[in-house]
Structure 1
Amino acid sequence: MKLNWGTGIVLAFVGFIGFILFFVVRMSLDDRSNHDLVTEDYYKKELVFQQDIDAMKKAKALSYPPRVEKTEAGMLIHFPENMSPEKIEGKVSLYRPSNKHLDFDLPISVSKPNLLIPDKRLLDGRWDMDVRWTYEGETYLLREHFTY
């Protein structure tokens, strides 16, 4: 059988379309590809976004702003020195963008102005951390992104 130009072009188009459809079907059925939203309560979190911005501004405006330091024992969160540690309440949320099963929350309960997140809880990779605390009725928020 002899092929002419028209038949060759049609076969090329059919081959290309088949190639693209193969990858579309493969990616939509693959268990490793997760197409969910980044967080479960994405839309709820968007409704309180302005409150988060205000809390971050308050944290940055402190005379001794909080900071995060990587140590051999883990991640050390330094709260402002002028705040009494017993009055600090809140939680630390650690979010792993690549695997939601690694996300966890820690309650803030400190007797010193520092909080240590143990090294064994943090696997290598990128982490997003939200430190939300209240002190004497005021809410503060520190957002950090780090690679461990």
Structure 2
Amino acid sequence: MSWGYKILSVIIVFICGMTFMVTVAMRQTNEMFDEQYYAKELKFQELIDAEKNLSLLPDTIRIKQNSAGLDISLPTFKGNTNAEGEITFLRPSDQSKDFIQKITADNIDSISIPQSSLVRGEYKIRFKWQAEGVDFYREKIFFVQ
């Protein structure tokens, strides 16, 4: 085999490899974790302050999994009489399985998420609520069995 055929072979293998890489890249989905990612980035300092507020509380967020689903308990702040907010369940592998659970003063001590709402795997859970005019925020990674 002469050197001309070897160069031609290398060029053909290179072109086939590049075609394969372009085909694979075009089939990938590029979902953003949040649709309004850039707008939320501007409010990042507010989230830092809300996380600091939560770290000052003596209690922590508790998540327990049982056969019925998840039981979530949030820390108490001045009785949580005016508490409201939301818990966002984000599924990194499938955006269609994301959902939001509302937080009210009535359910802040024991929030139940039914097993039917959950799929086995990893969730990024965002807790964001306000009680007595003070904001609280925390993100946790949780693996549902």
Q: Which residue of 2 aligns with 1:123?
A: 119
Distance 1:26 1:144, change over 3 A: closer
Distance 2:39 2:7 in 1: 52
State which of 136, 139, 144 in structure 2 corresponds to 1:143: 139
| Residues 99 and 107 of structure 1: CA distance in aligned 2, closer, same or farther (over 3 Å) | same
Q: Displacement of 1:83 after TM fit?
A: 4.5
| Root-mean-square deviation (Å) | 1.8
Name 1:91's counterpart in structure 2. Answer: 86
The TM-score normalised by the length of structure 2 is: 0.87
Residue aligned with 2:137, SS: strand
- Find runs of 4+ consecutive structure 1 residues off by over 4 angstroms: none
Contact 2:64–2:71 (CA under 8 A) maintained in structure 1: yes
State how 1:17-32 maps to structure 2 within 5 Å. Answer: 17-28=15-26, 30=27
Question: What is the aligned counterpart of 1:36 among 25, 31, 43?
Answer: 31
User: In the alignment, residue 3 of structure 2 is paired with which amino acid?
Assistant: W
Q: Which residue of 1 is the match for residue 7 of structure 2?
A: 9
Of all paired residues, the percent bearing the same amino acid is 29
Name the CA distance, whole Å, in 2 between partners of 1:8 and 1:59.
Answer: 66
Which runs of structure 2 are paired with 1:48-127 in the superposition (5 Å)? 48-81=43-76, 83-109=78-104, 111=106, 113-127=109-123
The answer to whether the 8 A contact 1:66-1:79 is kept is yes
Give 1:97 shift. 0.7
Note the C-alpha offset of 1:49: 0.9
Q: Which runs of 5+ in 2 are unaligned?
A: none
Task: Report the Cα distance in structure 1 between the residues aligned to 2:54 and 2:77, rounded to whole angstroms.
Answer: 13
Give structure 1 stretches of 5+ with no counterpart. Answer: none
Give 1:99 shift.
0.9
Q: Could you state the TM-score of these two structures normalised by the residue count of structure 1?
A: 0.85
